[in-house]
A and B are shown apart, each in its own frame.
Chain A
């Protein structure tokens, strides 16, 4: 009987150990695990078993700013074929959606799928990326669609503000006007140009693969070693931050029949700026907006900062588009008051506590959204900081130094706000 008791107590201990290990798994899966494959590809994995979905994203830090004048269309068209149509079609039949987009500093391939297909997808995707088989695929029709899209954007007024800004900014010594895609540039792309782009620019280092979802770290690493790490290692391309010239016009006014009233500021992020501090700063910045803007329908602010420029430590665009019930004049006044308050009114500990609480809740909401986790990791990779930092933002806000916030506003933020964009709904207004 004694033996029996001992046996049962061991059993109970075993049971509790099992339970505890499950609990630990709950906690540990809140974090992103990093690894580097033999060919230099960085891997970020966040296990999340709440839903049977996995999102795989390849980030290739080559963007529109890296290619010679007039070759931006080649980059977009060639990158669109990094995953061949055959692969895309095959996996679409398995409920896997794949999206490829080229940005100013990186190319992003994102696929959402049933985790059962992840091995197969990685295999096919790497065969395509490794061989460049699809980079010049279906070029004639893709070019025609691209031209049509550009025309449509113009009619809709989408991108009117962005496109009007770029000719006034110089990046890496180049006037960014060449980033704009014209019909002529799109038509100049040939199959040979796409293949040359692939040969000259595609590198496994720097490159990253981010996986978020219902996949186990160990099995995934094994799978990545059999697929992604076999991507041929070629001469590395340095990932240098962009140089940014501020000798451009300070204010641009744009009139468009189709666009709504909006104001935007471009903030040049000076070299060496601590990105964690910057995130703390912008959390305070956007929180204070509530004080100067009122929205009638439901009080959510329409302000946001885009990370379109962020990759490559470039600059941040602060863009405010009024909701239905904020007039342009109020928006303008609100922004001016906000800048004045950031400059003159010191942030108080109570204010920091409130913001910290809110950010803490927002982080919880972000953690529910698999795509927002993926975005956090992507931004962290491109900036070169720890992807788990975004989860500690609330703590960092709480301990922020009010002196430093004021100093930053007056010595860095306001002097580096280089542009104001005004887009009017009606040209005659």
Chain B
């Protein structure tokens, strides 16, 4: 009996000691909990060892720039600029100091899309003070008319900066062409005219009506328990109105957002000082892609357009030297693939021919061997943790795509949809003496 007990006990000890080795599965690095908390807020907790640092993201659905009224376009961006500028009785400068003292870092307020998003990092040990401090921006905003005028003062300059950058300029034009007359195709910064019409009442009304609990989704990342997440949300948002739950948009509303593909397929923008360099941006409208197709798109893009991908190799084989960058933006009702290339002007014609041939070729046949390698890497990514806490929500979104389901058939099917010439629009920027079918970027 004693001998048996001794053997059992020894086995238990061995198991206890070796347990950490066997338990090192993906759960050790990433654990995601989704729940609705006691005040009705949809919450997601991404659990991982974060050294007392907590990532917080507050997302107010349908409060982004797409939902600004045309005459007040840029309102959500203005709210983003002014929301945390003056807190309570503090001056602007003291508010800035308070942010530093409380160690709130990585604050990112974004309104350029469907949702109004606020993300930041905070030390767990100061969470109660920080959240109570930030909550006043929603319940008791204290910015003044002067503050608003101050924010508005800078908008002409922001617009100026945007139109002087080649990337911004081509991106804006591509969006105009892919989503003509739709909100997806509009620069959400607004114009000098729409911004000047925004009043203190508009901003206050926005805060009261758009920042509601039924409209809110919280994401926490780090060493945070479900109970802690719930208490954090309570401190921040218990006092904001409950509001009405957002329902899905009607077909007409969706159409208002995405608009139509323009009939113009190529636009040339002339910009001085470009010398012998040209930028060619290609945009592809990807409508109605489901999650598997999005995963397949990510895999295909990685396999074709990464540093050692087919596209760049083939370009050099054709003696075309260019700097290539490619990315996709996933939006609610339509995704966009942007392929941006910078070339010497003398290679422009050669490249245009090459691009059209390649897109056609990829539609018919993609390199499945490279795609499988890429898929394997993305599958690995879904199991790994995070090397830093910035942009955690986006990283998680990418990890949650069903790469494993993007099998060879799905890849082929997606490539066929992806490289559809009818959905491709192109913008060429360079110092052209003659402007054809486009506009002057001056």
B387 at the interface (CB under 8 A from A): yes
Q: Is A361 an interface residue (CB 8 A)?
A: yes
Residue B39 interfacial (CB < 8 Å): no
Chain A residues near B343: list those with CB within 8 A. 148
B17 on interface, CB distance cutoff 8 Å: yes
CB–CB B81/A325 < 8 A = yes
- B123 within 8 Å of A (CB atoms): yes
Known contacts A95-B380, A361-B103, A364-B123; is-contact A324 B158 (Cβ 8 Å): yes
A299 to B96, CA, bound (A): 5
Q: B308 contacts which of A89, A149, A327 (Cβ < 8 Å)?
A: A89
Let me know if A7 and B16 touch, CB within 8 A: no
Q: With a CB–CB cut-off of 8 A, which chain A residues contact B82?
A: 296-297
Chain B, interface residues (CB within 8 Å), range: 35 or more
Q: Which of B13, B98, B277, B388 contacts A11 (CB 8 A)?
A: B13
- Interface positions of B from 336 to 387, Cβ below 8 Å from A: 342-344, 373, 376-377, 380-381, 383-387
The smallest beta-carbon distance between A323 and chain B, in angstroms, is 9
Q: Does A141 lie within 8 Å of B84, measured CB to CB?
A: no
Task: Tell me if A361 and B123 are in contact (CB < 8 A).
Answer: yes
Residues of B within 8 A of A299 (CB): 84-85, 92, 95-100, 107
Decide if B89 is an interface residue (CB 8 Å cutoff): no
Task: Mark contacts of A140-167 with chain B using CB atoms, 8 A cut-off: 1 yes-contact digit, 0 otherwise.
Answer: 0100110011011001100000000000
CB < 8 Å: which of A155, A297, A324, A361 contacts B277? A155
Return chain A residues, CB-CB under 8 Å to B342: 148, 152
Q: Given A297-B81, A299-B85, check contact A4 B2 (CB 8 Å).
A: yes
Stretch at the interface among B44-52, B232-240, B286-294: B44-52
Number of A-B contacts (CB under 8 A): 181
Of all chain B residues, the one with the shortest Cβ separation from A297 is: B81
Contact indicator A14/B161 (Cβ below 8 Å)? no
B273 engages A92 (CB within 8 Å)? no
Instruction: Kindly list chain A residues whose C-beta atoms are within 8 Å of the C-beta of B9.
Output: 7-8, 11
Q: Is A234 an interface residue (CB 8 A)?
A: no
Judged by a CB distance under 8 angstroms, whether A172 is at the interface is: no
In the complex, residue of chain A having the shortest beta-carbon distance to the beta carbon of B381: A95
B109 to A298, Cβ gap below 8 A? yes
By a CB distance below 8 angstroms, the chain B residues around A53 are 384-385, 387
Interchain CB contact (< 8 A) of A92 among B29, B125, B166, B306: B306
Asked if B323 contacts A145 (CB within 8 A), the reply is: yes
Residue from the list A18, A362, A372 in contact with B103, Cβ < 8 A: A362
For residue B157, CB closer than 8 A to chain A, the reply is yes
Which one of A155, A258, A290, A297 contacts B80 once the chains associate, using CB atoms below 8 Å?
A297
Encoded as 1 (CB less than 8 Å from any A CB) or 0, chain B from 143 to 159 comes to 00001001101100110
Contacts of A148 in B (CB 8 A): 277, 321-323, 342-344
B5: A residues at CB distance < 8 A: 4
* Chain B residues whose C-beta falls within 8 Å of the C-beta of A370 in the assembled complex: 387-388
On whether the beta carbons of A88 and B161 are closer than 8 Å, the reply is no
Output the nearest chain A residue to B389 by Cβ-Cβ distance: A368
B164: interface (CB < 8 Å) = yes
Could you say which residues of chain B place their CB within 8 Å of the CB of A3?
A: 2
26 A-B pairs, CB-CB below 8 angstroms? A50-B29, A50-B385, A51-B29, A51-B384, A53-B384, A53-B387, A89-B308, A148-B321, A149-B323, A152-B342, A156-B166, A257-B273, A294-B92, A297-B81, A299-B85, A299-B97, A299-B98, A299-B99, A299-B107, A300-B99, A301-B96, A327-B154, A361-B103, A361-B123, A365-B53, A425-B160
B residues with CB within 8 A of A = 2, 5-6, 9, 12-13, 16-17, 20, 29, 48-53, 80-85, 92-93, 95-101, 103, 105, 107-109, 121, 123, 125-126, 147, 150-151, 153-154, 157-158, 160-161, 164-166, 273-277, 306-308, 316, 321-323, 342-344, 373, 376-377, 380-381, 383-390
